[in-house]
Structure 1
Amino acid sequence: MAELGADVAPADELTVDQINPLNAHLFRDHRWHDHFARLRQEDPVHMNEIATAGRYWSVTRYDDVKAVEMDWTSFSSASGITLGQRLDPAHDGGVSRLMSFIAMDPPQHREQRRAVTPSVQPANLQNLEPLIRERTVAVLEALPVGETFDWVDAVSIELTTMMLATLFDFPFEDRRKLTRWSDVVFAIPEPGGLVETQAQKRDEFRECVDYFSRLWEQRKEHPGHDLVSMLVHGEATKDMPAAAHLGNLLLLIVGGNDTTRNTMSGSVYGLNEFPDQYDELIAEPSLIPNMVSEIIRWQTPLSYMRRTATDDVEIGGKQIRENDQVLLWYVSANRDEDVFDDGDAIDIGRPNADHHLSFGFGIHRCMGSRLAELQLRILWEEILQRFERIEVRGEPTRTFSSFVNGYTHLPVEVVPK
């Protein structure tokens, strides 16, 4: 049984059955690449078992991940989308009872998702673009010149929380609460960590529940065009229990925060890691849209999603039992050598960059994908307008999570034109 401790050995020192890519230390230490490369080559459908989560399979190749995504009847989302320590419903503050449409199968999934999709349809995105650009310019113009600062806090978090506050019609002065709650949802309690105990996590989560419960009641009487109002008054969602409402809201917070925020940070870090690609982008700004797709592939802000087998079924020659948990590792599929040549490298001209699986595939493909791409495109259009370069001044610190592949700090300095 593979362990999840901090002292995990390099991939080339392990037998393949000792590899467990779920280990959050691999992601915080940025050492996951070789572990997945071993699995893709030697055991692409790989079984692990741990006491806190039971038996689960890691699917690591592109074609296998897509095949599972497309077969929602054999691989259900209804039992949850992440793998981790099972919570006690009597003491977790309601976390384990929350429901959201990402953790549902058709027809419920389709009906509830439809309630909020107007917010990210092309007409609404077109209306949002001037506001996104105005805010992006204001944030970039306020950055200090000639000193090192944290890009994650000053830019990535600031832009994503402003966007979320707009989509939710959330009190603007409290918008940083959205980031905190999003981070707490998947935080692993540890001394000195984002949350230190399960009790602290429960208490902060209750604050989120209470806050949105108040907003929910307000929008019943005074609806607007925001996501909360859409859920309150949507035909498929208006009569749902409170746990389902709050689960959907939390899903939208996490989806709008973690993915865009960490790709914004990853774009700066990645282009510094591959300075020839940064030079090419400066020389050819028309490459920005393809660069955005390539960075989303390379960063893969959410590492995996979980499915649960509804029957005995085969994947990649392996026999999966009914009720086995299956992890779809997007972070590995996006580096599959059979699909992406030299996948560990950034190539902003990559012809199939938009074939990445960072947004999922099939019925659960991220509904906010176009909004995320729009925000990233505008950010880099405005960066190239006013800065010679954004230079990374030290190694980033990363999220302690195997689910969220992200950054907590990224020291940079801007070089103005």
Structure 2
Amino acid sequence: MRLTPGPGRDIDLDGVDLFDLDLYTSGDPHPIWDVMRAKAPLHHQVLPDGRQFWSVTRYEDVRRVLSDHKEFTSERGTVPTHLGEDDAAAGVLMTSTDPPRHTEVRRPLGSKLTARAVKSWEDRIRGTIVRFLEPALDGETFDLAEKALLLPAMVTGPLLGIPEKDWEELVQLTAMVTAPSDPHFLVGNEAATLAISHHELVTYVKDWVRTRRAAGGEDDSLLHHLMSVRPGGAPLTDEEIALDGYSILLGANVTTPHTVSGTVQALIEHPEQFEKAAADLSLVPNLVEEGLRWTSAACNFMRYAVDDVDIAGGTIPARGAVVAWIGSANRDESQFPDPHTFDITRDNAKRQAAFGFGPHFCIGAPLARMTLRIFFEELLQRFGSIESAGEPQHLRSYFIAGMTHLPIVAQERRTP
């Protein structure tokens, strides 16, 4: 979707369809979210097939929905593609589970992903990113968005314990889960794409576990660590490990590439920001936070009201689906002055909501932040300029905001 809103226009919220894929592929949801925050911070929509949901678009309301699992449960599904049909893996799949089980599974994994723990991986990740960037320095057109889809697997594959031969297939499958209507990933129809990708990913992790059990021994990979997790004192079954491994693979692969390409696009459109960061690499951590705010790659998450909940001047009925629009929260003018300006010196950029809030705050946030910091440190030191080499092509998804193509031409930075 467009990251810089186009000219404002009269918007009739009664006619808005937030599940219109064209709104994100070729349209512009930001002016709609602007009006919703101002005039309808709790918005109700009924789809043509009778499914319905409520939307919150203000930062504090998004925070409340995602933080309070007693008011808003994750155990019926957390992504809009599940709307109308409860997630069959709810209560087991880590992303579709509430505390205390969610905490019991997450805590031991989180201990492997703290900022201190991932620091030991920095040199390995830097080497990976240097190799990734090298082909872009020959002056030829480089499709950053297309190439970046594989970057998270290049970084996290060794940490997860996944062999390189499987990276490309797993990236394709995770993209099919999160953007099942995009022509790059569509297989037959949306339902078939979701069914195939879910089955193949779960089967992959099951086979991985079976092979590791047969081989015996220990390793330090995150997937192997799942085999020792004991929520409630009992070990996870292979089915539970497979579903939680599926969660980890999705989290690892689907947002970072779009943060990379969207932030690079912003630097192309704002060359003064590129030069400012290149002149002072101490700005890179804040550039990363502003990039996360600006791109909001995980555009939304869904929850269900446990009971009637009063919020944003209205009421969500018990069992009602509510979509918390992270892309809107990150442009809330009450939190981020001049929110539609990309500013790498923004004082409070780290308040961005891209990693979510509450129990489901992104478990991989320290690794994602470090990976993005290294990426932009290396890019700014190596690239003297970056220019667009064609129109970007946006991902056909209302859940993940990103691009499938961003052709660029980069020139190597010449040292004096």
Q: Are the equivalent residues in 1 in contact too, given 2:299–2:399 (CA < 8 A)?
A: yes
Deviation at 1:325, TM superposition (A): 0.6
Is the counterpart of residue 81 in structure 1 residue 75 in structure 2?
no
The 1:11–1:193 alpha-carbon spacing in structure 2 relative to 1, beyond 3 Å, is farther
Matched position secondary structure for 2:112: helix
Structure 2 counterpart of 1:187: 179
| 1:198-228 Cα distance to aligned partner (Å, 9 max, x none) | 3354334433232221111122333311111
| Structure 2 Cα separation of the partners of residues 64 and 85 of structure 1 | 22
Aligned with 1:209 (options 202, 211, 232): 202
Q: Residues 323 and 11 of structure 1: is their aligned pair in 2 closer, same or farther, counting only changes over 3 Å? A: farther
The answer on 1:228 being equivalent to 2:220 is no
Other structure's SS at 1:222 match: coil
Superposed, 1:219-298 pairs within 5 Å as 219-220=212-213, 221-236=216-231, 239-298=235-294
Q: Which amino acid aligns with 2:24?
A: F
Residue type of the alignment partner of 1:65 = V
Q: Following the alignment from structure 1 to structure 2, what is the Cα–Cα distance between the partners of residues 122 and 324?
A: 37
Identity across the alignment (%): 32
Q: Structure 1 residue 263: deviation in Å?
A: 0.6
Q: How does 1:128-207 map to 2 (within 5 A)?
A: 128-154=121-147, 156-189=148-181, 194-197=186-189, 198-207=191-200
CA distance in 2, matches of 1:204, 1:77: 21
**What TM-score comes out, normalization by structure 1 length?**
0.90
Structure 2 unaligned residues grouped into runs of 5+: 1-6
Q: Compare relative contact order (CA 8 Å, sep 6+) and give the higher one, 1 or 2.
A: 2
Deviation at 1:160, TM superposition (A): 1.0
**Unpaired stretches in structure 1, ≥5 consecutive residues:** 1-9, 90-94
Distance 1:139 1:387, change over 3 A: same
Residue 193 of structure 1: CA displacement?
A: 5.6
* TM-score (norm. length: structure 2): 0.90
Match of 1:206, SS?
A: helix
User: Counterparts of 2:187 and 2:11 in 1: how far apart (Å)?
Assistant: 31
Preserved CA contact (<8 Å) 2:137 2:383 = no
Alpha-carbon offset, residue 323 of structure 1: 0.2
Instruction: Give the distance between the partners of 2:123 and 2:184, measured in 1 at CA.
Output: 41
Q: Distance in 1 between matches of 2:181 and 2:293?
A: 29
Q: Could you tell me whether the CA contact under 8 Å between 1:44 and 1:58 is conserved in 2?
A: yes
**How far is 1:173 from its partner?**
1.7
Kindly indicate whether the alpha-carbon contact (under 8 Å) linking 1:11 and 1:35 is maintained by their aligned counterparts in 2.
no
Query: 2:393 corresponds to which letter in structure 1?
Result: T
Contact 1:28 1:400 in 2 (8 A): yes
Determine which of 7, 17, 20 is the counterpart of 2:17: 20
Shift of 1:27: 1.1
Q: Show the counterpart of 2:56.
A: 59
Other structure's SS at 1:395 match: coil
Tell me the distance in 2 between the aligned counterparts of 1:168 and 1:342.
40
| Count of residue pairs brought into register by the alignment | 402
Contact 1:267 1:295 in 2 (8 A): yes
* Preserved contact between residue 263 and residue 294 of structure 2 (Cα < 8 Å): no
Contact 1:56 1:324 in 2 (8 A): yes
1:335 Cα offset (Å): 0.2
> What amino acid sits opposite 2:70 in the alignment?
T
CA RMSD of the aligned region, Å? 2.2
Give 3-state SS (helix, strand or coil) of 2:400's partner.
coil
